[in-house]
Chain A
Amino acid sequence: MPKLTIDNLEVTVAEGTNVLEAARALDIVIPHFCYHEALGAVGACRLCAMMFVDGPVKGLQMACMIKAQDGMIVSSTDPAAMDLRRHVIEWTMINHPHDCPVCDEGGECQLQEMTVAGGHGVRRYTGRKRTFTNQNLGPFVQQEMNRCITCYRCVRTYRDYCGGSDFGVFGSRNRVFYGRIQAGKLESFFAGNIIDVCPTGVLTSKPFRYKTRLWDLQEAPSVCPHCSLGCATVPGGRYRDVQRVRAGINRETNGFFICDRGRFGYDHVNHPQRPRQARVDGQPVMIDKALTAVRQRVAEIAREHGSNSVAFLGSCRASLEANVLLRDWAVATGSAQLVFEAHHGRDRAARTLAANLGEHARSLEDVRRSDLIIVFGADPLAEGPMLVLAMRQAARNGGRIAVIDPRPVELPCAAKHLPVVAERLPVVLAAFGQGDLNAFDSHEREFFASLMAQLHAARRPVLVGGVDLLGDQGVDALCSAAAELSTGERSVGVMILLAGPNSFGGALLAGAGPDFEALLDAIQESRVRALVCLESDPFREAMDPARAQAALAHLELLVSIDNTPSLTAQRADIFLPARANAEMAGSYINNEGRLQAFLPVIDPGLPIRETGAGNHPPREFFQETPGSAAEADWWLLTHLLERGANLVELRKAIEQNDERFAGLSTIAAEATGLRLAAKGVLPPAAEKQRPHAATTGILPLLVTTVPVGSHWLAHLSSPLAATEPQPYVCLHPDYANELGLAAGDRVRLSTHLGQCHVVVRVSAQMLNGLVLAPHLWDTALEGMLPGSRLDCRLEKETKA
């Protein structure tokens, strides 16, 4: 641990820390452009000059390039260092336009800050400036190259860190251009990160363009609601609109970056069809009235038909606090009919994970440091995109990656891929855990033999899985394999991708309760007569929506608490508008059991652009903010339970009642969160899955999530919705051949759920003999839920 002196202050830092970071530890900010903690030091911008007065290194040096050593005496205020910093700023400003007043970066422009901090106040250069022609980089990133100061951060982020392949650095001298070979949409699913890393207004958010000056933007630390990884985000809002999201910093989860789903998925908050008004029997009412109605009717049904006639359905997108209160309500009602996920496959798998994970839990940071990652039945780009980036960092550090999955799993790093039938994954995992190569055919045996050898040599291996393909059996097998393959010296890690931001929280709360299939039976048989849905949509989220819709029609009372225009919200007898994640404080438990808090960014209300119908300010005036009735999900539940609605008190009470959530009252939204040691309980045994019928013409179909289009909240976000794919099926080229199909063909896909028109895609990376279909909201494929294995037919359509 080297100890050095910076500006007469002593500091001790970890081995390998550079002097710029050492200074930062003393709250001495050394101006810099090219250095970035996640990207490392390259010494290109020459801004972070410090004078090394005495010690092992002497003279003026770039602080980012020098590792802290014992006995260094460093000055940040040395005249030569300050002179150079002033000049570097002057040089970077030579070509920079004087367009700060109209630049979208204004307010968070690092160049602006450094220019002021560096003391460059008067432009001495009066010559010609170099200019560029901008490219259209697609719907997310706006390019304005004349502002570029050539710090190389964007290309290092896009190519090196994120593994993108269509963005580069062209030209040389003072005419360096960052962009694509030709204009076009940036292909990487992490492209938006270049907006964050650009220190000035070259790369800005296109959807956010011209919306708000940044000093007017309200921001707060939050947690991304678009998958189970718990990435830190900082949403920004104004005019009752959430207008953008930038990456937050959480060194245990996302690090410094986020995916484009997290970045551009914010717009569900502003969705024009979002129900913002409490309703009872179709009539708009004040929220108090609706709350009273819920309390009365639920109590009535319980009284009339018994406690178990009231069922409660929680959700992975509701806060932990709300889900806990829902459980409390069920307990208070005396009902055992409590489920936390309408998709029973995901529910069972999550509970299996919560029961088994224990010390095998790994964070994204652990994955980044892993030396061997084996993926069983997961497509991280769709199910937890930032895991892809974590895996890439592992690969960049020499880690190896193998994927066992029937899908063409795309990764921006080298990986060995073995396509295996999804149903076989539990068996494969069991055999792998026991080192039993006899379970494999000759081709697979070679693959697994080499994998086992790698695993034995690996020091920080992680097994990755996804709930949709693994199911409860697969998750169980994966956790068992991890346990079996762990030795005294090193434990094998587990990272399972769950469905939503609070899936793990729901799984912990569910205990050995029924799953939604069982609940549907009870509803069908009128044993259950009332259903309270917390931010869930059983009509569309149950694995068999047709069966769900038929059963739910029998309900006497349907209550919905939601912040999206879900079918359940529309059909509910009583509807309570809830706040969205960016409008409230709360917490989630991510897929590794990490408890994380988030804060409200804006208050709910109809966006001004809607109330003003495009005009601003609106010409009608109200006492209250239009559409502001929504309350936090936990607030609504405390009122339903007639408890005090104080979040601090609530969290303390939760801790006291259930020690598994100890720490809930102490976590800060800016912090890395708290990994819980809590364990869940396995779900009750399920009925065996029916095998595929082997009838001629009947093809096996597997439904999976895709990066954009399968996630409900993201689907409601207009910037992302524009990039959703049209319905398609994906086939191995040999299989397509066998079926007389080719890429681009239009076919009719028929299942027991109905028929739809899709386009054929082919991929040589996927399993032969399987039809792959994406789950896509609001398309004909909506009724097929991820993880479903169906029988289907494909009939080629001739072009009309």
Chain B
Amino acid sequence: MTELLPQKQIDSFKARAAALAHPHELIVDLLRAIQSHYGWVPDAGVLLTAMTLGVLPVEVEELATFYDKIYRRAVGRRVIHVCDSICCWSLGAEMITEHLQKSLGIDFGMTTTDGAFTLLPSCCLGACGDAPAMMIGLTTYGKLTPQKIDEILLKERVAIAADA
């Protein structure tokens, strides 16, 4: 199992927290750092955040469970957030979702058996002009069509294979 966060980064957070009057302000930053390194935030990540910043574990968990973009359960290598808000909905987000679910063979909240993709619904992604849209990782894709989705998934699969 990979580490939650490289020691160097932990040390840097520790140093920043020590210099701050309010170390709590780094909680979200550190959770995001762990997530970006480890993929998601396991219980140990909550504890690591608390210990690194000198705050209570419960204070970390209170935030980790509030923000929807902090994953407190294991996710696939790529998390797909499909926008289901009004603009995307008006331009066929339901059809896009159906296509994604069919091609990945999973429902919302699930991860593909190969561990590649997790599919989640999302509120508006701020890509309303390019609806329907989805976000994979931190990259937003707009003006989606089934064909375009297939291309994107293929590209991501190649990238995942390259990572491994």
Contact = CB atoms under 8 A, between A and B. Distances in A.
Tell me if chains A and B make direct contact, with any CB pair below 8 A: yes
B66 A181 contact: no
A166 B58 contact: yes
A170 B62 contact: yes
A798 interface: no
A177 B66 CA distance: 11
B58 A171 contact: no
B65 A167 contact: no
A634 B66 CA distance: 58
B62 A168 contact: yes
Contacts of B61: 168, 170, 181
A623 interface: no
Contacts of A182: 43
Nearest to A167: B58
B59 A181 contact: no
B23 interface: no
Given A181-B43, A181-B57, A172 B66 contact: yes
A171 B62 CA distance: 7
A180 interface: yes
Contacts of B46: 181
Contacts of A170: 61-62, 65-66
B51 interface: no
B32 to A, nearest CB: 18
Nearest to B56: A165
A171 B66 contact: yes
A169 interface: yes
Contacts of B57: 166, 181
Interface residues of B, number: 10
A240 B57 CA distance: 44
Contacts of B58: 159, 165-168, 180-181
Interface residues of A, number: 13
A170 B61 CA distance: 7
Contacts of A171: 65-66
A169 B64 CA distance: 11
| Majority secondary structure of chain B interface residues (helix, strand, loop or mixed) | helix
A91 B25 CA distance: 34
Interface in B48-76: 56-59, 61-62, 65-66
Of B56, B57, B58, B61, chain A has the most CB atoms within 10 Å of the CB of: B58
A182 B57 CA distance: 11
A98 B59 CA distance: 33
Contacts of A168: 58-59, 61-62
A166 B56 CA distance: 8
A8 to B, nearest CB: 45
Contacts of A167: 58
Interface in A157-186: 159, 165-172, 177, 180-182
A688 to B, nearest CB: 47
Contacts of A169: 62
A414 to B, nearest CB: 13
A159 B62 CA distance: 12
A168 B66 CA distance: 12
Nearest to B61: A181
Contacts of B59: 168
Contacts of B56: 165-166
Contacts of B65: 170-172, 177
A197 B134 CA distance: 45
Nearest to B58: A168
A5 B101 CA distance: 62
Interface string A313-342: 000000000000000000000000000000
A313 B66 CA distance: 60
Contacts of A172: 65-66
B34 to A, nearest CB: 16
B51 to A, nearest CB: 13
A392 to B, nearest CB: 15
A789 to B, nearest CB: 36
Nearest to B46: A181
A335 to B, nearest CB: 58
A300 to B, nearest CB: 66
A159 B56 CA distance: 11
B60 to A, nearest CB: 9
A168 B64 CA distance: 12
Nearest to B66: A172
Nearest to A171: B65
B107 to A, nearest CB: 18
A182 B46 CA distance: 12
Which interface residue of A170, A180, A181 has the most chain B CB atoms within 10 A?
A181
Nearest to A159: B58
Nearest to B72: A170
Nearest to B47: A181
B53 to A, nearest CB: 14
Interface string B18-35: 000000000000000000
A171 B46 CA distance: 15
A181 B57 CA distance: 8
Contacts of B62: 168-170
A172 B68 CA distance: 9
B70 to A, nearest CB: 12
Contacts of A166: 56-58
Nearest to A168: B58
B64 to A, nearest CB: 8
Nearest to A170: B65
Nearest to B59: A168
Select the residue from A159, A168, A169 with max chain B CB neighbours within 10 A: A168
A154 to B, nearest CB: 13
Nearest to A158: B58
A278 to B, nearest CB: 53
B139 to A, nearest CB: 26
B120 to A, nearest CB: 15
A585 B59 CA distance: 46
B149 to A, nearest CB: 29
Nearest to A180: B58
Contacts of A177: 65
Interface in A176-225: 177, 180-182
Interface string B138-149: 000000000000
A10 B59 CA distance: 45
Contacts of B66: 170-172
A182 B65 CA distance: 13
Interface in A629-671: none
Nearest to B64: A170
15 contacts: A165-B58, A166-B56, A166-B57, A166-B58, A167-B58, A170-B61, A171-B65, A171-B66, A172-B65, A177-B65, A181-B43, A181-B46, A181-B57, A181-B61, A182-B43
Given A165-B56, A168-B62, 10 more contacts: A159-B58, A165-B58, A166-B57, A167-B58, A170-B62, A170-B66, A181-B43, A181-B46, A181-B57, A181-B61
Rank and list the top 6 A-B pairs by shortest CB-CB distance, nearest first.
A168-B58, A170-B65, A168-B62, A165-B56, A171-B65, A181-B61
